[in-house]
Amino acid sequence: MILLSLQIITSFFLTTTASSSSLPGGFTIDVIHRRSNSSSSRFSKTDDDQLGSPYANTVFTTSEYLMKLQIGTPPVEIEAHIDTASSIVWTQCLPCLSCYDQQDPIFDPSKSSTYKEKKCDEDPNNPCRYEANYADQSYSKGAYATETVTFQSTTGQPFVMAQTTIGCGHNNSLTSPTASGIIGLDRGASSLISQMSENFYGFFSYCFSRKETSKINFGSNGVVSGHGTVATTMFRRMEKPNFYYLNLDAISVGENRVETMGTPFYSLEGNIIIDSGTTYTYLPDGFCNKVKDAVDSVVKVEQAPFSGEMLCYNTADIDVFPVITMHFSGGADLVLDKYNMYDNTGDSYCLAISCVGPTEDAYFGNRAQNNLLIGYDSSSELVSFESTDCSALY
């Protein structure tokens, strides 16, 4: 997703009352993969406990993963970004003070019999407002409401969530408006996974293909186990408690293992956010430059000039690049396909890792997550990985 630095401002303590019906236990939904050419100013972030996804400061293709859902009664179908680093489910709503063009019809709450605006504790006569701001100047502003949300599973059966808290955006802007909103999947109380029935135990997983269709799974369908599965601990950091932090111990470039130990990036309590909404992987510049130097020492091709943070080479041959392995705590070693780590731009390839300032968050992006079945288990505080041909699932 092309969004970054989500800041949600509300004037009340949000509680959720969603209940679910149909398909108790688990279900699976198709995911839509879209690629778009995008550009932005230099990546920047703000300090907030509900930040969203960073946006690559490049002109390369970005990968966005979307899921279909239906909102209201009668149901209106939309497509929304899947974002494990966002806290709310929001979509554009009529009346629009300012809305961007979207492919799907904009949701009209006046035509839904199940739409109900939330009232703020401090002022029960007025709707509760939210404001989500992003550092690339994207934003969504509107009112919190409860509404019926329906998902069509791959079996054809619906999963219905009554009285789900959503954000109804009346003033919105997205830099790359390929979707009608966002599906937040972080630990926040108003995220989709937090509002699901207790039958789902906080389990979800996804498998992102480089091709058209991928999958996202909830409940028992979201459990990742079996031969070849590795797992690492999820950490919760008090300053940003809604994110899924992992501990990255090292990155191997071929046989050269570059340790985080000895750098400010080293941590025992989580140092990188796993994020479905960010295309590239972002690392703090001290450690990041060591990884770039290790790649450059292997690649015997002329570097391509580029004005951003990416390391690029004048070659159309991906075989000149070394294999990259990400070593997470607990022995979760991910040997990544070269596609995961190198992005083709025609006559050149670029390392899909970008450097950020030492005080900015590190992100494990969705390009590196391709063809991995990735499971989130909040009850055991584990993220599991299984190497998978995601296009061949189900």
* SS3 state at 337: coil
231 and 382 in contact (C-beta within 8 Å)? yes
Q: Which of 275, 343, 361, 377 is catalytic?
A: 275
Give 216: exposed, middle or buried? Use CB within 10 Å, 0-12, 13-18, 19+.
Answer: buried
Q: Which of 83, 136, 361, 377 is catalytic?
A: 83
How far is the C-alpha of 55 from the C-alpha of 278, rounded, in Å?
Answer: 6
**Cis ω for the linkage preceding 158 (within 30 of 0):** no
* Residue 136 a catalytic site member: no
Phi, psi (5° rounding) for residue 204?
-155, 160
Structure tokens that stand for 37 in this block: 């050419």
* Residue 377 a catalytic site member: no
Q: Tell me whether strands 158-173 and 181-184 are parallel, antiparallel or unpaired.
A: unpaired
Which helix (H) or strand (E) segment holds residue 15: the answer is none
Torsional class of 293: left (φ above 0), alpha (ψ -120 to 50), beta (otherwise): alpha
List Cβ neighbours of 198 (8 Å cut-off, separation of 6 or more).
Answer: none
β-sheet bridge partners, residue 258? 251
Residues with a known catalytic role: 83, 275
